[in-house]
Chains A and B, each alone.
Chain A
Amino acid sequence: MTSMLTRAVGAPLPRLEGPAKVSGAARYAAEYPQDRMAYGWIVQSPVARGRLDAVLTDPAEEDVLVVLWHGNAPHLEQTDDPELAVFQSDRIGYRGQPVALVVATSLEAARRAAQVIHLDIAAEEHDVELRADHPDRYTPESVVPDVPAVSGTGDAETALASAAVTVDVTYVTPPLHNNPMEPHATIARWDGQDLILYDSNQHPSGIAETLGTVFGLPAERVHVVTEHVGGGFGSKGSARPNAVLAALGSWVTGRPVQMALPRQAMFSMVGHRAPTVQHIRIGASQDGVLTAIDHQTHTQSSRLFEFVESASVVTRDVYPVPHLRTGHQVVRLDMPTPRWMRAPGEAPGMIALECAMDELAERLGADPLDLRLRNAPRHERVLRAGAERFGWSGRDPRPRRRRSGEWWTGTGMALATYPATAMPSTARVRALADDEYEVAIAATDLGTGARTILAQIAADELDVPVGRIHIRIGDSTLPRASVAGGSSGSASWGWAVTGACRELRSRGGREAVFDTTELVREQKEGQHACGAHFAEVRVSAVTGEIRVSRLFGMYDAGRILNPRTARAQFLGGMIMGMGMALHEESVLDPAQGTWVNHDLAEYHIPTHADVEWIDAAWLDEPETGLNPMGSKGIGEIGIVGSPAAILNAVHHATGVRIRDLPARLDKLL
């Protein structure tokens, strides 16, 4: 039992690693000094498709220890990710693919040698452009995260044909890049047959297993240290080539090797959110009851790996309609592989669905809030609470009516939803002297507050103040944890920590270990966190500049474990959603087969100046039967629907529907 005196869960506890982070003491992957450190620099393919025949190096380059390419690289074992098989073939599958690695005694020497290297490449014609009518498109078996690509109930086609009011629109979302502030980086060192990796990732246990496979080692011979991570947003969920390259370079040179990716390389080597073309049709009765939805997504993947951005999946869960059809088609192009980016599927899918709903409200002459209330009963409480806090009532639905000086103003809203899941994890609790405890689990804290929350959970379970809990995370030698992804970290790891603490208390002794695998298998399916986003924008009548004057999120995400870190998660998601609506876009150069704006000067993310009034609130109610904490994940829901709320507000302000993201000023003029 937990006494009220020691209740830590629900308190706004400051982050445990805060002092280390503000003083520069917190160590990230590339920050572990090593004796005789060598530095890797990658050489990337300048063509999108072809064959690498030879690599010619300049013998005058000093301090170079080795140049590795497929002509001289050691054999690596296959994994389920072909991009980790670096230098195992002469084939080039995308522009930016690593084709050689220079290892030198200094960063400066490695970079210079990589710049002057000559690649003998037989280039071939490439195909890099996504089109909804691409002849090679196909329907995959499954889409992320391994759910059927196609679904259907009733007869959507007939229902749409006979619907009193319909919307039939296509929304296009561009490729987006995660761009965590810390570039993907690894320091690798071999200690006999053991591999030590200081690596920036979201899943130390998984990285150890994957690198073990690549080098033919049991996972326990690979030691992954991931003390602090400078963001990931999905791009660090699995091993990326930097880990393999560092280990390879270290194996060949016998020195510790640091392999930090340059920012530019992150646009091709670590994943991105694939572009989508989404055709959505909604049918409704004259009084605004939805009768049918058809949502079809066209997207792309690479030649190497099938990853399908599941944009239509969210439509299966938001509005219960009698006639529903969803599907995905993908085309494999000579482009880098898309991967997870914050709320894969839900984020782009909710833009099409919730902007189309706004279009339907306009057709019906209905209030957008009322249309949601009528058709999404599950969201009613959060919708009403959010609308009240934002001040939605009395809104004149007519677009392009409000102007103050240079600025048109408008408001918009959209729903938010994200699945609540947990994944198998194991935690260990040890009783130390003086009523103190060590809690150990191979989890990671990407800035989510995981370290702090796990301490709060353990403190309550053991009925001691948080200060008595010593948290150990970020190391693959600790009990196995699931990935910090899919908004599942707190649920998964917190469940294991709760179990271990309860075991220790009930059985006594010095140590308890708890594995949730069996419990997770029986977890309640189909639960979601839900919410609503509200936006107010102003648009310059002179320049078309769009400013978000207010952005508000109201959430129902079960029990909030720490309101301080939760608020940061919600606002951070909403701000990334603002980027998705207004700023972010990787621009394809079809001739070169690459994104031309591959750095932080040209790929625009929200800055301080872009964020004005922003706030989040929540209904703080434990969800029973989901996990012992009663929590639901909150890392992603902020980016789901917030872009649509902003786009709908832009329409309300200007009367212009932008269906091709991002909403730049040139699309308004």
Chain B
Amino acid sequence: MRLTVNGAQHHLVGLDPRTTLLDALREHLHLTGAKKGCDHGQCGACTVLLDGRRVNSCLILAITQQDAEVTTVEGLGRRGEPHPVQQGFLDHDGFQCGYCTPGQICSAIGMLDEAGKGWPSAVTEDDDLLSDREIRERMSGNLCRCGAYPAMVPAIRQAAGR
């Protein structure tokens, strides 16, 4: 089967059809940026972008995504230059142990795109789709046990240019 990740096409021979996208990335392509926190779509640590939309890669079978563009944390930014969300996390100390961080960053990028398209969230009341409250609500699928949340909100706000 084939898998396109961060712009590069990979051919995986003899891949077990039960292999999740997360395990294909981590165990077969050695792209370990996407993390396994629960393997059940409950924590968000495995979040990657699939054709630009954020998904839990532990809940997707790799074999079903042969025509998709997968973007992982390793594929963000340009050579030597971090993506604005990555830069925001660095500037605001938006992490401690770092294990949820790649998922938080990919999720934030997907979320900013959703807000940019005008998609509402459960707390949307007006046109401001990126207030701190909106950011917190929209990011709540990504757990952080260290409790670095208060530093992630300004990191994401900065990346959004606010």
Binding site for B on A (CB under 8 A): 14-15, 17-28, 30-31, 33, 37, 106-109, 112, 179-183, 228-231, 233, 260, 262-263, 446-449, 564-565, 567-569, 571-576, 599-601, 605-609, 611-612, 614
Contact = CB atoms under 8 A, between A and B. Distances in A.
Given A572-B96, A609-B140, 15 more contacts: A14-B90, A22-B98, A22-B101, A24-B72, A25-B33, A108-B18, A182-B37, A230-B35, A231-B97, A260-B36, A263-B40, A446-B96, A600-B38, A606-B149, A609-B136
A29 to B, nearest CB: 11
B146 A572 contact: yes
A262 B39 contact: yes
Interface string B94-138: 011111111001000000000000000000000000000001110
Nearest to A565: B93
A26 B34 CA distance: 11
B86 interface: yes
A564 B145 CA distance: 18
A14 B145 contact: no
B147 A228 contact: no
16 contacts: A17-B98, A20-B98, A21-B95, A23-B33, A23-B86, A26-B98, A28-B32, A28-B35, A183-B37, A572-B146, A576-B147, A600-B42, A600-B43, A606-B147, A608-B140, A608-B152
Contacts of B145: 179-181, 231, 233, 576, 605
Given A23-B73, A181-B143, A599-B42, A448 B37 contact: no
Nearest to B123: A609
A569 B89 CA distance: 16
Given A24-B73, A24-B74, A108-B19, A263 B37 contact: yes
B49 interface: no
B159 to A, nearest CB: 12
A155 to B, nearest CB: 43
Interface of B: 16, 18-19, 23, 26-27, 30-40, 42-43, 45, 72-74, 76-77, 82, 86, 89-90, 93, 95-102, 105, 135-137, 139-140, 142-153
B35 to A, nearest CB: 7
Contacts of A18: 89-90, 93, 95
A18 B33 CA distance: 14
Nearest to A570: B147
B155 to A, nearest CB: 10
A23 B74 contact: yes
A446 to B, nearest CB: 6
B95 A447 contact: yes
Contacts of B144: 181, 608
A605 B143 contact: yes
A479 B43 CA distance: 36
Contacts of A180: 97, 99, 145
Contacts of A605: 143, 145
Contacts of B33: 23-25
B86 A22 contact: yes
Nearest to B75: A24
Nearest to A616: B150
A22 B105 contact: yes
B86 to A, nearest CB: 4
Contacts of A230: 35, 97-100
Contacts of A449: 96
Contacts of A609: 136-137, 140
B83 to A, nearest CB: 9
Contact of A107 (B23, B95, B99, B151): B23
Contact of A599 (B38, B101, B146): B38
B149 to A, nearest CB: 5
B48 to A, nearest CB: 10
Contacts of A231: 96-97, 99, 145-146
Nearest to B17: A108
A182 B148 CA distance: 15
A23 B77 contact: yes
Q: Output the residue of B27, B76, B102 with the most chain A CB within 10 A.
A: B27
Nearest to B86: A22
Contacts of A565: 93
A166 B5 CA distance: 67
Contacts of B101: 21-22
A263 B39 contact: yes
Nearest to A20: B98
A233 B35 CA distance: 19
A607 B143 contact: yes
B146 A447 contact: yes
Given A23-B73, A263-B37, A611-B136, A447 B98 contact: yes
Q: Output the residue of B42, B96, B137 with the most chain A CB within 10 A.
A: B96
A233 B97 CA distance: 11
Contacts of B136: 608-609, 611-612
A257 B33 CA distance: 21
Contacts of B89: 18, 22
A489 B68 CA distance: 46
Q: Output the residue of A27, A37, A107, A180 with the most chain B CB within 10 A.
A: A107
A193 to B, nearest CB: 28
A575 B149 contact: yes
Nearest to A231: B97
Given A263-B37, A568-B151, A606-B147, A14 B99 contact: no
A105 to B, nearest CB: 10
Contacts of A27: 32
Contacts of A108: 16, 18-19, 23
Contacts of B35: 28, 181-182, 230
B40 A601 contact: yes
Contacts of A233: 145
B82 A22 contact: yes
A260 B77 CA distance: 30
B146 to A, nearest CB: 5
B15 to A, nearest CB: 9
A39 B137 CA distance: 37
Contacts of A611: 136, 147, 149-150
Contacts of A31: 26, 32
Q: Output the residue of A24, A260, A449, A609 with the most chain B CB within 10 A.
A: A24
Nearest to B14: A106
Nearest to A112: B18
Contacts of B36: 30, 183, 260
